[in-house]
Amino acid sequence: GESVGLHLPTLSVQEGDNSIINCAYSNSASDYFIWYKQESGKGPQFIIDIRSNMDKRQGQRVTVLLNKTVKHLSLQIAATQPGDSAVYFCAENQAGTALIFGKGTTLSVSS
């Protein structure tokens, strides 16, 4: 079926550490993946995306890795800051449909 899940509901890290948030997807036909960050009371904010013809993409302090063999997606945040504290969602899109979201991982950064 079309479902996107995250391995851990919460992740706690120290400021300055690197964070890794994981996501497993089940639809092998999905060809576009996005990571969103959501702060309390706000809508999801785009972080980074990747298409299925790639296995890695880097942004500013963030890297997304895609492993199509095991249908796994991860978000790496370098030098995590208190402002990174939020709920992170992965979402998948099969061509012609809408984005389907997972349940989210709450990242807590302590200083």
Partner 1 sequence: DTGVSQDPRHKITKRGQNVTFRCDPISEHNRLYWYRQTLGQGPEFLTYFQNEAQLEKSRLLSDRFSAERPKGSFSTLEIQRTEQGDSAMYLCASSLEQNEKLFFGSGTQLSVL
* Chain contacts with partner 1 (rule: CB under 8 A): 4, 31-32, 34, 36, 41-46, 49, 89, 91, 93, 95-104
Show the tokens assigned to 96: 């012609």
Q: What angle do CA 5, 65, 110 make, to 5 degrees?
A: 70
Closer by beta carbon to partner 1, 15 or else 99: 99
**Smallest distance, partner 1 to C-beta of residue 29, A:** 13
Q: How many of the other CB atoms lie within 10 Å of CB of 44?
A: 19
Q: What CA–CA distance (Å, rounded) separates 74 from 49?
A: 11
> Minimal distance in Å, beta carbon 41 to partner 1?
8
Tell me how far, at minimum, the Cβ of 15 lies from partner 1, in Å.
25
Chain centroid to Cα 89, Å, comes to 5
Identity of the residue, 85 or 102, whose beta carbon is nearer to partner 1 in the bound complex = 102
